[in-house]
Chains A and B, each alone.
Chain A
Amino acid sequence: MITTVLIWLPIAAALVVWILPLSRYATGSLAVLVSLAEVGIWIEQAARFDFARSGLQFEQRGSWISDLHVSYHVGVYGFSLWLVGLTVVCMAAAISYGFWVGRDRSRAYFGLMLFLSGTIVGVFTAQDLLLFYAFFEGMLIPLYILLGVWGGAGRLGATVKLLIYTMAGSLLMLAALVAYGLHAGTFDLVDGPTSISRWIFLGFMFAFAIKAPFFPFHGWLPDSYREAPPEVTAILSGVIAKAGTYGMLRIAITKFPEPTSYYRTLILALAATALIYGSILAFRSPDFRGVVAYSSMAQSGLIGLGLFSGVGLGLDGAVLQMVAHGLVSTALFLLAGTIERRTTTGLFALLGGMAKGRPALATLLMTVGIISLAVPGSATFAGEFLILAGAFQRAWWWAAIGCAAIVLAAMYMLRLISGVLHEARGSTVDDAALDLRAGELALIVPLVAGLVFLSAWPAGISHHSFAGDQPVQAVQGQFK
């Protein structure tokens, strides 16, 4: 029941916002309140979650299309619990950011953000393939409009790329899930058997590889990440990209063990390419958002390395990295938004020297940046270390490639930090560009606090994602 509430509360709130003619303040306040209520409900759920027990928890099942054995079936596992938490926390920050900057057409805007929030939670909790697909596609609708209406100057091209790329993947997934479900006689993810069909596996992987994105399916990424409003980009890279990697873990690896091992080398190679290539592109990017955008592609590749290493350490590390990078990426894009509001630009050529006289901004950006480049002791370091240890168990050279990427991460992140905060004062940075205000701090500091907490206790996630802390057995047993 609590899972259903997490999904449908924001969607119901979205309908309320669309129907009732509330004022801008009332609409924004309602949206922020609902998103905070989501966080509260999730904390309640996490507190009641039994990490020692295997199998689905907070489960709810109802009939939808019994004709074809499709049901409304939701519930959470350890790893999905963390991803739901990531979603509600990041959505709360993003919605508050939208309220803070005062987006126009507020009823449409907040309704769409709430709707998006509900569908993302749905993706992470759906235990029926068609339901999963419905939410996976459903995310795209608000995203498309948010990007197309509130985005930057090049938004129209960006929306077309986003929609066509992701729908191409999703529709192949629809074909794959029809094939899987009709063969298995059920669309239920918990009851469904494993399959050895390589075509069906590829259909699913294609969709997830686009969403994540892996090389060479990242064509939509730079435009969307640059043109979307910063808070939407934060959700896109922090949370929605994780839906791709989550799908790999929950469906591709779990339901298709034989095709997974058959294509393992290919997928690891694509993930490693995303990691290296994304890092290089991030280093070459001329602007703040470009760096973070390509770095999230690189991080998706890293997570893919962990997932497809097929060993326990890699899987643990991948889940930890999904959450940690989600928080990092959300915080960075929101910071990018605050900087763009002050200077109208994210280009390093026009920025610089912002540390002077802006201690709060400098401290936050520095902290998040340092965590992002995986300095030892940080949550992302723990995640990357686990993933690389897992990749090493698969073959040493995967780990070697991953280590190279850590060096690259340091290069692009330090370039970003110095480009914004240090060096000579940029032409767009003047005294009118004030330090972060209390409202902005209230949005970003909790995200950073979460990161610091995870840095102190990464085992909170990495030891609590799979039942009995035995990832490989859990995956082989299909989480039953």
Chain B
Amino acid sequence: MIHTPHVDWFAISTILALLGASFVALLGAVLVPRRLRRRFAATVSALGFAGGTLASIWLYVESAGGHRVISDAFYRDRWTALGQILICITGFVTTLMGAEHVARRNDDHIAEFFALLLACSAGMAFFVGSANLMVMFLSLEWLSIALYVLCAIDYDVAGALEAGLKYLIIGSFGSAALLFGSALVYGSTNHIGFAEIAAAGGSGDGLLVLGLAMIIAGLAFKMSAAPFHMWTPDVYEGAPTTVTAFMSAATKVAAFMLAFRLVRTAFPGEEHLWSWAFVGIAIASLAIGNFAALVQRNVKRMLAYSAVSHAGFIMFGLAAGTPLGGRAMVYYLIPYSAMAFGSFAIVGVRERELGVPVTLDNIAGFGWERPFLGVAMWSFLFGFAGLPLSGGFTGKFYVFSAVYDRGWGWLVVIGVLATLLSLWYYIAVVRAMYMRATEPEVTGGAVVVAGGAPAREPLLQAAVAICLVVSFGSLFAVQPLVELARHAAGSLF
């Protein structure tokens, strides 16, 4: 006789909203006439994400004291809710961008695109709240499979299939590592629940340590932290830019927020191990991400390596593992997600104008041609570099404070040097956009560019505007956002 667990439907309302919308969008792929399909699916997706955002905000308000629900498999607390809010908002702006940008040569797969996007976000929303190793692995697979398909959805575009396949193979490797690690941890402690693993102790057990190491490696794949980042540049470059933008923001949020919860609740006794592991990964990410980005000409690849280096900065908060570290990590993720999404979206615009991959040469003059997008782009890039124009500045300040507070002053110096290095390639883009003249040949031949004014793309501009407001506003509204993070992290300590 199997007992049916009591289900707290409210705790999973965000996931249900997203899944429901995904279902409707998928039905639309079959039932709605082709000419209305894009509009229909985009509307459903926007509604789904708006509903998910509202549900998770409500969940945040109502879940002051965190506890586990559904047979102790899922956390209902503010940490989960905050992660879900960030994922849903990212999904919403992705919808805005995707409505104009995905699969525009034929509308065959547009409804599937939105259905997958919603399903993937639902997986992420599940992932951040998982309370045992089984749910963690299942939701990781759930979101990953959706992402694999999303990466390859524009399969008639060169590189998209390759990106999807690369992501599939390397991502599976990461998932396998995570699964194997979970099995080892289970073998060592006889538990799969995070809290039970911590209670079982087993500190110093070689099996447990190996398991933890493999779980960290599996999560680091999703964070695209070095040395588990090999897929990042290829996939970011080959995937449709809408998907790249979504991945760069939402996947990082989900992976980092889950990782913080996992190591805090399941492995508090091994803090001396995982904090140093994260420090090592952070330094590797900063070094590899920055040095590799220096030599890129393709802007998407450069931004991909910059995403690797930012994984290093975000990991400062994770490595510190303190309440301040948690706040710093969550705060950093907010402006970072906005800037990452926005910068990829703008690259997507240029890509659409030219029909060829965007490089430092053919982005010349973009700043003057599209004033709003140009200004947004340089403010994002300067924000990445930590100049005080957006929350990227306060985010860096916060993670540096967190590691300094932990007693790692030398790590601050490494972070500072990495920031200095990163400046070089960020300003290369700004320089190309504003300070070089457009040359006739950079458009890649007259075949591609039909001439005339570029598409107006109001939805995409709205998405970029949202990113701009978030990244800029988070500089001024640091304290309210930190309070959000503080209440969220409260359930972990």
Residue of B whose beta carbon sits closest to that of A111: B375
Known A171-B420, A172-B416; contact A137-B397, beta-carbon cutoff 8 A: no
Q: Which residue of chain A is the closest to B414 with respect to CB atoms?
A: A175
Q: B368 — which chain A residues lie within 8 A by C-beta?
A: 105
Inter-subunit contact B387/A138 (CB<8 Å): yes
Partner of B401, one of A140, A144, A178: A178
B435 touches A164 (CB 8 A): no
Interface centre among A64, A138, A145, A171 (most CB of B within 10 A): A171
Most buried by A among B401, B417, B482: B401
Which of B393, B397, B435 is in CB contact (< 8 Å) with A149? B435
Neighbouring B residues of A160 by C-beta, 8 Å: 424, 427
Specify which chain B residues have a CB less than 8 angstroms from the CB of A101 in the assembled complex.
none
CA distance A101 to B398 in the complex (A): 44
**B382, B416, B420, B479 — most chain A CB neighbours (10 Å):** B416
Contact with B along A109-147 (1 / 0, CB 8 A): 000000000000000000000100111011011001100
Q: Are B412 and A178 in contact (CB under 8 A)?
A: yes
A residues less than 8 Å from B398 (CB atoms): 68
A179 touches B404 (CB 8 A): yes
CB contacts (< 8 Å) of A144 on chain B: these are 427, 430
Question: Does B442 sit within 8 A of A, measured CB to CB?
Answer: no
A residues in contact with B416, CB < 8 Å: 171-172, 174-175
**Are A167 and B479 also in contact (CB < 8 A) when A141-B387, A155-B435 are?**
no
- The interface residues of chain B, by DSSP majority, are classed as helix
Q: Are A148 and B435 in contact (CB under 8 A)?
A: yes
Separation of A167 and B397 alpha carbons in the complex (Å) = 15
Docked-complex contact A68 and B401, CB < 8 angstroms: yes
Q: How far is the CA of A164 from the CA of B385 in the complex (A)?
A: 12
B252 within 8 Å of A (CB atoms): no
Report Cα–Cα, A310/B434, bound state, in Å: 46
Distance to closest chain B CB from A105 (angstroms): 8
B327 CB contact (under 8 Å) in A67, A105, A135, A181: A67
Rounded to whole Å, the gap between the CB of B420 and the closest CB of chain A is 5
Q: B473 at interface (Cβ–Cβ under 8 A)?
A: no
Q: In this assembly, does A348 line the interface, its C-beta being within 8 Å of a C-beta of chain B?
A: no
Q: Is A196 an interface residue (CB 8 A)?
A: no
Specify which chain A residues have a CB less than 8 angstroms from the CB of B413 in the assembled complex: 172, 175
Q: Which of B400-459 contact A (CB under 8 A)?
A: 400-401, 404-405, 409, 412-413, 415-417, 419-420, 423-424, 427, 430-431, 434-435
B238 CB, min distance to chain A CBs, angstroms:
31
Is B200 an interface residue when CB atoms closer than 8 A count as contact? Answer: no
Inside 8 A of A64's CB, which chain B residues have their CB?
478-479
Residues on the A chain within 8 Å of B405, using CB: 182
Distance in Å: Cβ of A81 to nearest Cβ of chain B: 24
Q: How far is the CA of A148 from the CA of B382 in the complex (A)?
A: 15
Given contact pairs A65-B482, A178-B400, A159 touches B435 in the complex (Cβ within 8 A):
yes
Q: Are B389 and A138 in touch, CB under 8 angstroms? A: yes
The majority secondary structure among interface residues of chain A is helix
Give every chain B residue within 8 A of A134 (Cβ-Cβ): 388, 393
CB neighbours (8 Å) of B375 from chain A are 18
A144 to B378: give the CA distance in the assembly, Å: 12
In the docked arrangement, what's the CA distance between A168 and B418, Å?
11
Does A174 lie within 8 Å of B397, measured CB to CB? yes
Query: Interface 1/0s, chain B 250-261, versus A by CB < 8 A?
Result: 000000000000
B434 touches A145 (CB 8 A): yes
Cβ–Cβ < 8 Å partners of A163 in chain B: 423, 427
Q: What are the residues of chain B within 8 A of A30 when measuring CB–CB? A: none
Q: Which of B413, B415, B435 has the most CB atoms of chain A within a 10 A radius of its CB?
A: B435
Shortest beta-carbon distance from B348 to chain A in Å: 24
Contact A137 B431, CB 8 Å, known A67-B327, A174-B400, A179-B412: no
Which residues of B lie under 8 Å from residue A414 when comparing CB positions? none
Q: Do A141 and B394 touch across chains, with their CB atoms under 8 A apart?
A: no
Nearest-Cβ distance from residue A228 to partner chain B, whole angstroms: 13
Contact of A178 among B388, B404, B427, B478 (CB under 8 A): B404
A141 touching B434 by the CB < 8 A rule? Answer: no
Residues in A neighbouring B387, C-beta threshold 8 A: 137-138, 140-141
The residues of B that contact A172 with a CB separation of less than 8 Å are 413, 416
**A156 interface residue per 8 A CB criterion:** yes
Bound Cα distance A145, B327 (Å): 34
- What CA separation (Å) do A124 and B430 show in the bound complex? 28
Contact flag A65-B424 (CB < 8 Å), given A133-B388, A141-B382, A178-B400: no
B300 part of interface (Cβ distance < 8 Å): no
Contact B409 A179 (CB under 8 A): yes
Smallest beta-carbon distance B404→chain A, Å = 5
What is the bound-complex CA distance between A143 and B393, given in angstroms?
18
List A contacts of B378 (CB < 8 A).
Answer: 145
Most buried by B among A18, A156, A179: A179
Cβ of B486 < 8 Å from any Cβ of A? yes
- Please judge, given known A-B contacts A144-B427, A175-B412, A179-B412, whether A65 and B435 are in contact too, CB under 8 Å: no
- Chain A minimum-CB-distance residue to B413: A175
* Alpha-carbon distance between A141 and B475 when the two chains are bound, in angstroms: 16
Name which of A105, A133, A148, A181 has the most chain B CB atoms within 10 A of its CB. A148
Q: Tell me the complex Cα distance, A473–B404, Å.
A: 34
**B356-390 interface code vs A (CB 8 A; 1 in, 0 out):** 00000000000010000001001000100011110
Binding site for A on B (CB under 8 A): 327, 368, 375, 378, 382, 386-389, 393-394, 396-398, 400-401, 404-405, 409, 412-413, 415-417, 419-420, 423-424, 427, 430-431, 434-435, 478-479, 482, 486
7 tightest A-B contacts by CB?
Answer: A134-B388, A171-B416, A148-B435, A65-B478, A175-B412, A175-B416, A67-B482
Q: Please list 5 pairs of residues, one from A and one from B, whose beta carbons are closer than 8 Å in the complex, sorted by A's number.
A: A133-B388, A135-B388, A141-B389, A144-B427, A178-B412
Known: A168-B420, A174-B397, A178-B404. 17 other contacts (CB 8 A): A18-B375, A64-B478, A67-B327, A68-B401, A133-B388, A137-B387, A138-B387, A140-B387, A141-B387, A145-B434, A148-B430, A156-B435, A160-B424, A167-B420, A171-B386, A171-B417, A175-B409
Binding site for B on A (CB under 8 A): 18, 63-68, 105, 130, 133-135, 137-138, 140-141, 144-145, 148-149, 155-156, 159-160, 163-164, 167-168, 171-172, 174-175, 178-179, 181-182
